Each structure stands twice: as structure tokens, then as C-alpha cells.
Chains A and B, each alone.
Chain A
Amino acid sequence: DAKTTQPPSMDCAEGRAANLPCNHSTISGNEYVYWYRQIHSQGPQYIIHGLKNNETNEMASLIITEDRKSSTLILPHATLRDTAVYYCFLSGYALNFGKGTSLLVTP
């Protein structure tokens, strides 16, 4: 009963921007959007989170639409090490990561 939906897989060329979408049409006013990623065989790693403003840190940028029903995680210059499963989920709720998006960065 995930509150977010993501495409199961995406490809991106090395050096290009990777744009990973997430739909959360039933988001409520106090729920944050969180992004994590999981590199093979490792525990998930926090990337970024936001409420309604766009956010940027050293890893990525998060763009949240004005109605907050969807968001996009942007990796501005994808590298091979960014190949991972990316999870989008909402806070303030029992956390379930869902299946995420498997991003493959190719040379």
C-alpha cells in the first residue's frame, strides 16, 4: 500500500543528468518527500528530503511540483557509482520503501 509510485527502471549515460520521477498524489500537508538509494548489497543511504521548496545538496537536487503531487530527483552529472536502486517515500507515516527505481548508469 505504497503512497508513492516510481518507474521500475531507468538508464542514463555517464556524465549526463539523471532525472528520477516520483508520484505521490495523496500526499498530505505535513508529509516530507524523502529520497534514498541502495547500492548493491549495501544498506539504503539517505540522499535528500523536502517539504515544498526545491532542495539541493552535494549529492542531488529535489524538485517538488507546486501541488506537491510529484517530485523529481536530479543527479546532475551521473557517474557509474550512481548505479543503484532509488527509493522515494513520504515521512510522517509508517515507512515503506516500495520497489524503487533501478538506475543504470552506462559508460
Chain B
Amino acid sequence: DAGVIQSPRHEVTEMGQEVTLRCKPISGHNSLFWYRQTMMRGLELLIYFNNNVPIDDSGMPEDRFSAKMPNASFSTLKIQPSEPRDSAVYFCASSWERQVQETQYFGPGTRLLVL
């Protein structure tokens, strides 16, 4: 298996532009997570999907952020409009959840820089 795939790996954009981050989870996994990592705040959970349904989006910073999971093999995290404070590494992870949270497998991350 190729593991969790994220694209792009690096993104540089200007303030006000729309940014779309993409994630392909491991085949067969039914849970997907988006995390953001910064030096100041560490690794934070943004949103968690189970069977393509958002279960907990309490970590999404504000209305500028939105996430979708149209099918079991694809998810997007969109920032519109982007701001410099959104600069961070964004990780996607997937797992096979049964009764308790199973092991999460992380992608390589997308390094976002908003100028």
C-alpha cells in the first residue's frame, strides 16, 4: 500500500487566495483526520471523518476553513481566503476504526506558506 497520500507537498500562496489541500487515505480505512502543526500550538486536530461523515469539526479555526470527504478515497481541506497565520504544516491521517480509535497512519504533510 502506498500509505496516505497528500498533495501538494508544498504550497506558497498570497494572502487572500484560495488554498485546497488534498488527501487520499489508505484503502479500506474508514476514518480520516486533518491536523495542523505550528511551532506555537503544536499538532492540533482540525476535523475527523468517519465513513465520510464529519464527526467532530470543533478544531476548525473559523469559517474560512472547510473540509469535505465526498467518498472513501478522497478528502479536501480548503482555506478561503487564506491569511499569513494559516502558514503551517497540514497533515492528513487515516485509520480503521472499530470500537476504539485504532492506529492512525499519517501522510507526509503539506507545508503551506501564506505571504
Contacts and interface: CB of A to CB of B under 8 A. Distances in A.
Interface of A: 30, 32, 34, 36, 38, 42-46, 49, 87, 91-92, 94-100
A95 B108 CA distance: 19
B59 interface: yes
B103 A99 contact: no
Contacts of B108: 42-43
Nearest to A46: B103
A80 to B, nearest CB: 22
Given A36-B104, A43-B109, 4 more contacts: A30-B100, A32-B100, A49-B103, A91-B101
Contacts, number: 54
Interface residues of B, number: 22
Nearest to B109: A43
B93 A43 contact: yes
B96 to A, nearest CB: 13
A101 to B, nearest CB: 12
